[in-house]
């Protein structure tokens, strides 16, 4: 129904605003708006006034606020996250929940959706951000990162802040993005109320402690009702779990239903298609989500490490910080990371090595040598290269990182395969430093996993990689190699839901005959019209190497037309080369076909990204 | 001249393939689009049918079909490419091109077919065009190597009568050229030839017959022509739709006896299909053979069965209407009559291995090639050896109807060098092999042939391994017995003319036939049905032993099993099943 002056109590201007807004709302938004208006009319507060994209959080915070807290001016907290795989986003959600429970008025937003002119008004800013590749911010932090580091950044003398950064110590630029934000906010005059916490791949404990500290800092600075709990005690109470019984910290033991190689005979690659049962777990997922797998280290490698140190494999050792005790062999197979060396590991190892050269290597002057050494080497190399050792089995808890779960984009639609989840895992195996190196999870999947076996898994939601809500919106999916996995999920879901919008997949690999992953699935989808266009590039079949970006450029005209029709673009797969090349190809297409200069094309693409129309899941 | 026999062409609704041909616009169809489709390595069925006319058809590695299906991969589609080489002759330059293409685009090996043609396997769809272009640049073609047209014309490679060979070969070439399809589609699709766009030319094209011999629907089925030079019947002239038997008098080629209506293919379980021997209908002079071929083809074009493909071969057309009808019809279309057939005698179908000096003083060496497969293996670098020879050879290469190879016209100067290369690589002239092995013929069958029901090329050598000790014990190591095996009853290795023959029924099971004439003038007869290796050995052993002791002077195995009553003689295909 169109609102008019004649059929509503609104002015013409109001009616027009409503008419413009209402058709764009999702059912969830309408439902929420009903509650909001009821609340609004009760005249409880005018707090929600200026909020935009984050009004939900603001209002629900006020709703939940204890009456006692309302008497004082409610505290505000702006929680900004930059997340690629969803970890930062999930942690930001936890912080928001925690603070709301304390009566804080919370604004929760991804960085690129945050209206930067609200930054100055924020009393507290909490940044949760991960770091990628060569110290790069995640996609949805890029524009905000640039804004904050640019000339237009406001002075923030009135602002208090803290940063949680996520990263991986095996990378050179560990947690760089978080560190940059931390430094920059200070430069802009903001006041740090809790020290930055840098999380390694095993982030749960550090992140919980940081959330508790922030919560404590806010409640103590408020001088409000509850006494601030100690950070440690509070940390234990912060659950990072989702709604399901099973989660990252309590993984589900999923039975392997199928494990087959998708690469045909004669291929130089091996890609496993795993089908896992979710039966009885209550776990569900959406297209774009990931599965985390807790893998098993190669028992042969564990054996060699134990032999190297002449240890007793049955000796009981700590399984982690929980106090649980398991055999040394079990610990090295299932609990600790043994295939990657990090700078902190080497620094700690000095204490256990009788070899002076190790102490020399970790000196700040030898940064480059250290970097070169840890590249491609593992614990066994370290043990062999820097003997003799004084280390005892009990010391591994101090020395080694927890074995982190491996994340894989889900390759199936839950609606198409109820109580199942499919994964696409490419075997990583190569020679380095005179030894064969095995990808932990991929080689397990390839060599030590059969139907009937079980894998510890959890579902990792990825809100930053989701098909468009509107079924008519065209989708362009670019996923060479295993990057095609989520698009099988997207398309299966569209098939199940009978989505009629156009879809276009760009796929590539080395050889057509052996490496066309899920070929017969795509052929069927093309035939049935679920997939509108499919363009493929096989790099090793022709003299000139051809990649997906070349196919994109060949189809530039049609591609741009789709963009202009509102298509969403999804890119999944290799970050280092593919994602960059595809990005460049998109810019070229926009430039050529849109008659834009490079700056305008970049702005066009940045806008797509801000609108959530250009989403990437790259690794 | 009044016609004695009035017959109507057989009616019935045209088969799907006939409709396809009509709609293909002279062999174009939707090939261009299907070839450029990158999502599948295959072609839709209809385009695959058309592709045959262009000398290729789709196959897949059947060994891994099921495995790939599970892996969510389509069958590993690949294309067989057959090259038209009249009489099996190629130059060293052409040999080198084929050798290179086998590695560059094929599966690494070349095959000499039972019709003296080159065959490449394992060519991917995206490489078809470049492969065909390279073949054409070497002045060879794949056009009409398969399909419902006249196929590669066979002729005896004949290193003995070197002066006759050049004449015979000339006519084989002439026949090939004369009967080649004239559609520009081949040129357009593969060689980037421009379409006829000029309006005047279009007008002209509209009035001019594109295919003056075939017409727009081509033939009802394939059509095979071979030229034999007695006493050798290596081309199995009686298996050809149209055969020419050279008549040499006083060392000069005076003409040919003409034979019609032979053919090997049949369908298991359908007694209306059968192999048939061609019958000699008269004599012609060399300059008449093109006219005879053209008119014979047009008779089959007009009277062949276009409703049921398995009844469409020329042999059924003749048997349906009678040989007399055909001869009358032919004379009618020729406007003149054949002379009475002349005397000739065949005495063998196999090759004569080893070095032979021709009357022109040039040398020839006939090499034994197992199953016609030219490949490098761990133990035998045959392909490399022939490449090295081709690099220095100044004569020609001749593929034989028995899938062997003659290196022909070797100068005295090069003989030692070529012989040294053969020795270096350990290439056999066959002298060290049993006569049975030298006389063996098999088709490709599994894994690439889509028609195969059982193994042939990959299995026959193993079976021979097991028969050799029996022959050895019986003192028959040097006895030539034609042994042939095909994976299906279509008869590519001409099993109905094998003294011992096996036609595949299912994996490991064969129908066993015996009793064909040693010189290819009598068909074999079914002796045991659906038997495996053990039964084959058990069946053959006592017969071989009896043959060793009871055979007459110079009596061949095929004649022996007929005389002693193992099988009845089959002198016409119509008696094949009775």
Give A416-458 pLDDT, tens digit per residue: 999 999 999 999 999 999 999 999 999 999 999 999 999 999 9
The confidence band for A205, taking pLDDT boundaries of 50, 70 and 90, is confident
Distance from CA of A399 to the nearest CA of B (A): 42
Provide the pairing of β-strand B225-228 with B242-249.
Answer: parallel
Query: pLDDT (tens digit, 0 to 9) for every residue of chain B, 578 residues total?
Result: 445 667 888 888 999 999 999 999 999 999 999 999 999 999 999 999 999 999 999 999 888 999 999 999 999 999 999 999 999 999 999 999 999 999 999 999 999 999 999 999 999 999 999 999 999 999 999 999 999 999 999 999 977 777 888 899 999 999 999 999 999 999 999 998 755 444 455 555 566 789 999 999 999 999 999 999 999 999 999 999 999 999 999 989 999 999 999 999 999 889 999 999 999 999 999 999 999 999 999 999 999 999 999 999 999 999 999 999 999 999 999 999 999 999 999 999 999 999 999 888 899 999 999 999 999 999 999 999 999 999 999 999 999 999 999 999 999 999 999 999 999 999 988 888 999 999 999 999 999 898 999 999 999 999 999 999 999 999 999 999 999 999 999 999 999 999 999 999 999 999 999 999 999 999 999 999 999 999 999 999 999 999 999 999 999 999 999 999 999 999 999 999 98
Tell me how far apart the alpha carbons of residues A359 and A346 are, in angstroms, rounded to a whole number: 9
- Could you say which DSSP state residue A333 is in? I
A87 shares its domain with A217: yes
A267 shares its domain with A307: no
Q: Give chain A positions within 8 Å (CB) of B76.
A: 264, 513
pLDDT at A46 over 50: no
- Establish if B76 touches chain A: CB-CB under 8 angstroms: yes
Instruction: Specify whether the CB–CB gap between B226 and B88 falls below 8 A.
Output: no
CB contact under 8 A, B64 and A516: no
| Residue of A411, A507, A513 to mutate when probing chain B, most B C-beta within 10 A | A513
- Establish if B74 touches chain A: CB-CB under 8 angstroms: yes
pLDDT at A76 over 70: yes
pLDDT on residue A51? 35
Angle at A181 between CA A179 and CA A187, to 5 degrees: 105
Q: Give chain B positions within 8 Å (CB) of A263.
A: 71
Give A311-322 pLDDT, tens digit per residue: 999 999 998 877
Q: Give chain B positions within 8 Å (CB) of A514.
A: 73
Residue with the bigger pLDDT between B478 and A17: it is B478
Distance from CA of B55 to the nearest CA of A (A): 22
Residue range A285-290: average pLDDT?
96
pLDDT on residue B552? 94
Residue A407, annotated as binding a ligand: yes
Residue B284, annotated as binding a ligand: no
Residue range A461-483: average pLDDT?
95
Residue range A370-395: average pLDDT?
94
Residue A534's DSSP bridge partners are A505
Q: Give chain B positions within 8 Å (CB) of A521.
A: 72
Has residue A465 been placed in a domain? no
Q: What does the DSSP assignment read for A226-245? A: SPPPPHHHHHHH-----SSS
A283 shares its domain with A309: no
| CATH code assigned at A290 | 2.40.30.10
CB contact under 8 A, B71 and A512: no
Distance from CA of A427 to the nearest CA of B (A): 16
Residue with the bigger pLDDT between A10 and B451: it is B451
Has residue A467 been placed in a domain? no
| Residue of B35, B39, B42, B63 to mutate when probing chain A, most A C-beta within 10 A | B39
A561 shares its domain with A587: yes
Provide the pairing of β-strand A475-478 with A271-277.
Answer: unpaired
pLDDT on residue B261? 97
Tell me how far apart the alpha carbons of residues B443 and B452 are, in angstroms, rounded to a whole number: 9
Tell me how far apart the alpha carbons of residues A161 and B411 are, in angstroms, rounded to a whole number: 95
CB contact under 8 A, A262 and B73: yes
How many beta-carbon contacts under 8 Å exist across A and B? 49
Residue A133, annotated as binding a ligand: yes
Q: How many CA atoms lie within 13 A of A248 on its CB side?
A: 22
**Which of A262, A519, A534 is nearest residue B74 as measured by Cβ atoms?**
A519
Q: Which of B21, B224, B414, B522 is catalytic?
A: B224
Q: Give chain A positions within 8 Å (CB) of B126.
A: 512, 541-542
Q: Give chain B positions within 8 Å (CB) of A519.
A: 39, 72-74
Concerning whether B146 is annotated as a catalytic residue, the answer is no
A433 shares its domain with A554: no
Residue A175, annotated as binding a ligand: yes
Tokens 């295919």 correspond to B211
Tell me how far apart the alpha carbons of residues B408 and B356 are, in angstroms, rounded to a whole number: 9
| CATH code assigned at A341 | 1.20.990.10
Has residue A243 been placed in a domain? no
Please enumerate in sequence order all residues whose Cβ is within 8 A of that of B184, keeping only pairs 6 or more positions apart, or say none. Answer: B26, B193, B195, B196, B210
Has residue A468 been placed in a domain? no
Provide the pairing of β-strand B500-506 with A290-294.
Answer: unpaired
What mean pLDDT value characterizes chain A?
87
Q: What is the CB neighbour count within 10 angstroms for residue A553?
A: 15
pLDDT on residue B375? 97
Give the domain range for residue A10: 5-69
Give A173-191 pLDDT, tens digit per residue: 899 999 999 999 999 999 9
Residue B155, annotated as binding a ligand: no
CB contact under 8 A, B67 and A512: no
Concerning whether B437 is annotated as a catalytic residue, the answer is no
Q: Which of B295, B387, B443, B522 is catalytic?
A: B443
Q: Which of A374, A399, A424 finishes a domain?
A: A399
pLDDT on residue A2? 67
Give B241-282 pLDDT, tens digit per residue: 999 999 999 989 999 999 999 999 999 889 999 999 999 999
Residue with the bigger pLDDT between A369 and A202: it is A369
Has residue A470 been placed in a domain? no
Angle at B225 between CA B220 and CA B230, to 5 degrees: 155
CA–CA distances in Å: residue A65 to residues A60, B144, B205: 8, 86, 89
| CATH code assigned at A546 | 3.40.50.80
**Which of A264, A534, A542 is nearest residue B73 as measured by Cβ atoms?**
A264
Distance from CA of A514 to the nearest CA of B (A): 8
Q: Please report, for chain B, how many H helices and E strands are present, in that order.
A: 18, 20
pLDDT on residue A1? 57
Tell me how far apart the alpha carbons of residues B333 and B323 are, in angstroms, rounded to a whole number: 15
Has residue A23 been placed in a domain? yes
A348 shares its domain with A233: no
| CATH code assigned at A157 | 3.40.50.360
Distance from CA of B373 to the nearest CA of A (A): 22
A382 shares its domain with A412: no
A199 shares its domain with A99: yes
Between positions 513 and 572 of A, the ones with CB within 8 A of B are 513-514, 516-523, 526, 534-536, 541-542
A123 shares its domain with A220: yes
The confidence band for A22, taking pLDDT boundaries of 50, 70 and 90, is confident
**Which of B39, B74, B124 is nearest residue A536 as measured by Cβ atoms?**
B39
Q: How far is CA A480 from the centre of its chain?
A: 19
CB contact under 8 A, A264 and B126: no
pLDDT at A123 over 70: yes
Tell me how far apart the alpha carbons of residues A310 and A321 are, in angstroms, rounded to a whole number: 25
pLDDT at A301 over 90: yes
- Establish if B68 touches chain A: CB-CB under 8 angstroms: yes
CB contact under 8 A, B124 and A261: no
Q: Give chain A positions within 8 Å (CB) of B67.
A: 264-265
Helix (H) or strand (E) holding A384: helix A379-385
Distance from CA of A512 to the nearest CA of B (A): 8
Please enumerate in sequence order all residues whose Cβ is within 8 A of that of A324, keeping only pairs 6 or more positions apart, or say none. Answer: A318
A81 shares its domain with A213: yes
CA–CA distances in Å: residue B541 to residues A50, B442, B474: 101, 21, 10
**A534: nearest CA partner in chain B:** B39
A417 shares its domain with A274: yes
Q: Is the pTM of this model over 0.90?
A: no
A362 shares its domain with A276: no
**B69: nearest CA partner in chain A:** A520
Q: Which of A189, A206, A237 finishes a domain?
A: A237
Tell me how far apart the alpha carbons of residues B438 and B442 are, in angstroms, rounded to a whole number: 12
Total structural domains within chain A: 5
Residue A410's DSSP bridge partners are A423
CA–CA distances in Å: residue B13 to residues B16, B29, B153, B234, B385: 9, 21, 31, 39, 53
Has residue A246 been placed in a domain? no
Instruction: Specify whether the CB–CB gap between A427 and A438 falls below 8 A.
Output: no
Tokens 């050895």 correspond to B472
Q: Give chain B positions within 8 Å (CB) of A265.
A: 64, 67-68
- Establish if B40 touches chain A: CB-CB under 8 angstroms: yes
Concerning whether B284 is annotated as a catalytic residue, the answer is no
Between positions 240 and 269 of A, the ones with CB within 8 A of B are 260-265
């Amino acid at each position: 129904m169109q609102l008019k002056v004649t059929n509503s109590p609104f002015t013409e201007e109001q009616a027009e605003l409503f008419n413009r807004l209402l058709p764009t709302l999702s059912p969830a938004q309408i439902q929420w708006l009903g509650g909001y208006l009821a609340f609004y009319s009760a005249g409880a507060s005018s707090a929600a006034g200026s909020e935009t994209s984050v009004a939900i959080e603001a209002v629900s915070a006020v709703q939940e606020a204890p009456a006692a807290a309302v008497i004082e001016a409610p505290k505000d907290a702006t929680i900004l996250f930059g997340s690629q795989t969803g970890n930062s986003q999930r942690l930001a959600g936890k912080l928001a929940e925690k603070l709301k429970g304390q009566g804080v008025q919370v604004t929760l937003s991804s960085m690129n959706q945050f209206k930067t002119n609200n930054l100055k008004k924020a009393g507290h800013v909490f940044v949760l951000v991960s770091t990628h590749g060569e110290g790069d911010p995640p996609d949805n932090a890029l524009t905000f990162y640039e804004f904050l580091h640019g000339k237009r950044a406001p002075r923030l003398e009135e602002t208090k802040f803290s940063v949680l950064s996520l990263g991986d110590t095996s990378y050179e630029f560990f947690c760089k993005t978080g560190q940059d934000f931390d430094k920059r906010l200070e430069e802009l005059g903001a006041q740090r109320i809790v020290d930055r916490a840098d999380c390694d791949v095993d982030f749960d404990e550090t992140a919980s402690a940081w959330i508790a500290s922030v919560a404590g800092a806010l409640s103590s600075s408020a001088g409000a009702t509850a006494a601030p709990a100690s950070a440690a005690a509070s940390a234990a109470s912060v659950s990072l779990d989702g709604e399901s019984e099973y989660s990252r910290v309590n993984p589900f033991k999923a039975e392997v239903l199928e494990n087959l190689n998708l690469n045909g005979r004669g291929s130089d690659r091996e890609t496993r298609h795993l089908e896992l049962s979710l039966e009885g777990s209550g776990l569900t997922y959406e297209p774009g989500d990931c599965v985390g797998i807790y893998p098993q280290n190669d028992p042969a490698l564990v054996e060699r490490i134990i032999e190297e140190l002449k240890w007793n494999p049955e000796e009981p050792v700590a399984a982690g910080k929980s106090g649980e005790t398991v055999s040394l062999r079990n610990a090295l197979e299932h609990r600790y990371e043994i295939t990657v060396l990090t700078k902190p590991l080497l620094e700690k190892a000095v204490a256990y090595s009788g070899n002076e050269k190790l102490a020399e290597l970790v000196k700040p002057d030898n940064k480059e040598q250290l970097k070169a050494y840890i590249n491609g080497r593992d614990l066994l190399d370290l043990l062999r290269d820097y003997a003799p050792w004084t280390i005892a089995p009990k010391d591994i808890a101090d020395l080694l990182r927890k074995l982190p779960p491996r994340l894989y984009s889900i390759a199936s639609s839950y609606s198409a395969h109820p109580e199942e989840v499919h994964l696409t895992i490419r075997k990583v195996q190569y020679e380095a430093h005179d030894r064969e190196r095995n990808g932990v999870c991929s080689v397990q999947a390839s060599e030590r996993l059969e139907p009937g076996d079980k894998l510890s898994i959890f579902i990792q939601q990825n809100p930053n990689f989701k098909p468009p809500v509107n079924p008519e919106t065209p989708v362009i999916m670019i996923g060479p190699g295993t990057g095609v996995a989520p698009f099988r999920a997207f398309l299966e879901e569209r098939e199940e839901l009978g989505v009629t919008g156009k879809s276009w997949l760009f796929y590539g690999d080395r050889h057509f005959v052996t490496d066309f992953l899920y070929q017969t699935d795509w052929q069927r989808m093309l035939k049935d019209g679920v997939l509108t266009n499919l363009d493929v590039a096989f790099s090793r079949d022709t003299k000139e190497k051809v990649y997906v970006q070349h196919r994109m450029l060949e189809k530039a005209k049609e591609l741009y037309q789709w963009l202009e029709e509102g298509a969403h673009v999804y890119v999944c797969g290799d970050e280092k080369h593919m994602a960059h090349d595809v990005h460049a190809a998109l810019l070229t297409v926009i430039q050529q076909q849109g008659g834009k200069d490079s700056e305008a094309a970049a702005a066009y693409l940045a806008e797509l990204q801000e609108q959530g129309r250009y989403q990437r899941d790259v690794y | 001249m009044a016609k004695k026999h009035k017959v109507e062409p057989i009616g019935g609704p045209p088969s799907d393939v006939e409709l396809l041909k009509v709609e293909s616009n002279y062999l174009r169809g939707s090939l261009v689009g299907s070839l450029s489709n990158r999502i599948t390595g295959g072609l839709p069925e209809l385009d695959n049918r058309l592709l045959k006319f262009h000398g290729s058809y789709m196959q897949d590695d059947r060994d891994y079909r099921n495995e790939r299906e599970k892996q969510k991969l389509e069958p590993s589609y690949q294309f067989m490419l057959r090259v038209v080489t009249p009489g099996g002759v190629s130059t060293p330059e052409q040999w080198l091109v084929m050798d290179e293409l086998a590695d560059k685009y094929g599966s690494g090996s070349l095959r000499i077919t039972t019709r003296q043609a080159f065959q490449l396997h394992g060519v991917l769809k995206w490489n078809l065009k470049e492969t065909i272009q390279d073949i054409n640049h070497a002045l060879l073609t794949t056009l009409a190597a398969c399909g419902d047209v006249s196929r590669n014309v066979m002729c005896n490679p004949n290193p003995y009568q070197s002066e006759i060979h050049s004449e015979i070969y000339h006519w084989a070439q002439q026949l090939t050229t004369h009967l080649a399809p004239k559609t520009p589609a081949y040129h357009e699709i593969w060689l980037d030839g421009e379409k006829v766009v000029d309006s005047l030319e279009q007008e002209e094209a509209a009035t001019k017959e594109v295919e003056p011999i075939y017409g727009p629907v081509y033939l009802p089925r394939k059509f095979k022509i071979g030229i034999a030079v007695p006493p050798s019947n290596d081309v199995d002239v009686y298996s050809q739709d149209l055969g020419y038997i050279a008549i040499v008098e006083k060392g000069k080629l005076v003409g040919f006896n003409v034979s019609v209506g032979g053919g090997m293919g049949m369908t298991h379980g359908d007694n209306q299909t059968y192999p048939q021997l061609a019958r000699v209908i008269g004599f012609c002079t060399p300059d008449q053979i093109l006219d005879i071929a053209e008119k014979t083809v047009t008779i089959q074009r007009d009277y062949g069965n276009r409703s049921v493909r398995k009844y469409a071969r020329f042999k059924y057309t003749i048997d349906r209407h009678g040989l007399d009808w055909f001869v009358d019809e032919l004379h009618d279309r020729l406007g003149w009559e054949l002379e009475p057939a002349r005397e000739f005698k065949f005495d063998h179908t196999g090759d004569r291995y080893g070095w032979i000096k021709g009357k022109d003083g040039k040398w020839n060496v006939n090499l034994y090639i197992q199953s016609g497969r030219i490949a490098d293996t761990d133990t035998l670098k045959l392909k490399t050896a022939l490449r090295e020879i081709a690099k220095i050879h100044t004569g020609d290469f001749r593929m034989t109807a028995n899938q062997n190879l003659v290196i022909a016209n070797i100068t005295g100067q090069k003989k030692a060098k070529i012989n040294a290369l053969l020795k270096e690589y350990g290439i056999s002239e066959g002298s060290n092999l049993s006569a049975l092995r030298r006389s063996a013929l098999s088709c490709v069958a599994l894994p690439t042939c889509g028609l195969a029901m059982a193994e042939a090329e990959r299995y026959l050598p193993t079976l021979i391994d097991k028969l050799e000790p029996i022959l050895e014990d019986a003192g028959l190591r040097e006895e030539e017995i034609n042994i042939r095996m095909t994976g299906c009853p279509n008869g590519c290795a001409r099993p109905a003319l094998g003294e011992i023959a096996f036609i595949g029924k299912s994996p490991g099971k064969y129908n066993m036939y015996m009793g064909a004439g040693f010189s290819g003038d009598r068909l074999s007869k079914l002796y045991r049905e659906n038997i495996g290796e053990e039964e084959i050995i058990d069946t053959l052993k006592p017969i071989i032993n009896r043959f060793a002791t009871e055979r007459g002077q110079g009596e061949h195995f095929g004649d022996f099993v007929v005389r002693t009553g193992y099988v009845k003689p089959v002198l016409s295909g119509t008696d094949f099943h009775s």
